[in-house]
Amino acid sequence: MRRALVLVHEPDGGACRIEERLVQRGFEVMSHLITDDYDQPNEAAPFPSLEGFDLLVPMGSVRSLTRKDQISSWIHDELTLIADAHTAGTPILGVCFGGQLLAEALGGSVETAPVTEVGWFTLSPAPGRENPVGPGPWMEWHHDRFALPPDAELLATTAYAPQLFRLGRSVGTQFHPEVDVNHIQGWLGPATDEYLLSCGTDRETVLADIAEHEAANITQCHALVDWFLDEVAFA
């Protein structure tokens, strides 16, 4: 049985629909929670060894690679872990913050995005490329964006950020394919009305949107995982 290691940065940041599909595809999934206290971001559990794992899935986070001083006790270790996994040929699926980690670990960079995207956005294919995961809409919740590593292939974008790239057996997304209503409720917990308004939305809209899109998102998330496994990771 193949084994997948999911790197979960906070308690509300699990792989959910991604993990669900990996299990359906016969994977044993281990989730490693890095920090369990939002107010103590530098108190982190040591990273496990990659030995015995066939797949690495770093997930999203409220943290930012533009402010590494806030997470200095663990962020460099995670970047090294991701770089080493890629070099060793271990497939990686990085999601949102995980996609940013993947980009930076492989020689790209991360910057503050010109617009914070919170909500459901349609993806456009990159020029001259096909978007293998479909237009969505896909759930976005991010303040930063990645710049691609050397030799990476950009596959999809929105107006404000690259959204999907591939490099070898690794894939990074800026969007959140994994979400369900429990994710969204957890993320909304600490969000103030003022913050949401600054992002161009409100609590009621975010909850109404996940109710509208959740069923279709299960299907498209599972299809994304299938594409990653069959066409990228283990082709």
Q: Exposure string (b/e) for 194-215, b if CB count within 10 Å is 16 or more?
A: eebeebebeeeebeebbeebbe
Per-residue tokens: 29: 């999934």
The yes-or-no answer on residue 142 being catalytic is no
Active site residue 178: yes
Please pick, among 10, 19, 78, 96, the residue that the annotation labels catalytic: 96
Tokens 């591939």 locate to: 166
Instruction: State yes or no: is 176 an active-site residue.
Output: yes
Count of all residues that appear for the chain in the document: 235
Contacts of 41 (CB under 8 A, 6+ apart): 35, 63, 70, 71
Neighbouring residues of 195: CB distance < 8 A, sequence distance ≥ 6: none
One of 19, 178, 213, 221 is an active-site residue; which one?
A: 178
Dist. CA 79–CA 101, nearest whole Å: 6
Catalytic residue selected from 86, 142, 176, 213? 176
Give me 74's structure tokens.
């663990």
Nearest to 221 by CA among 15, 10, 5, 4: 15
Question: Which residues belong to the active site?
Answer: 96, 176, 178
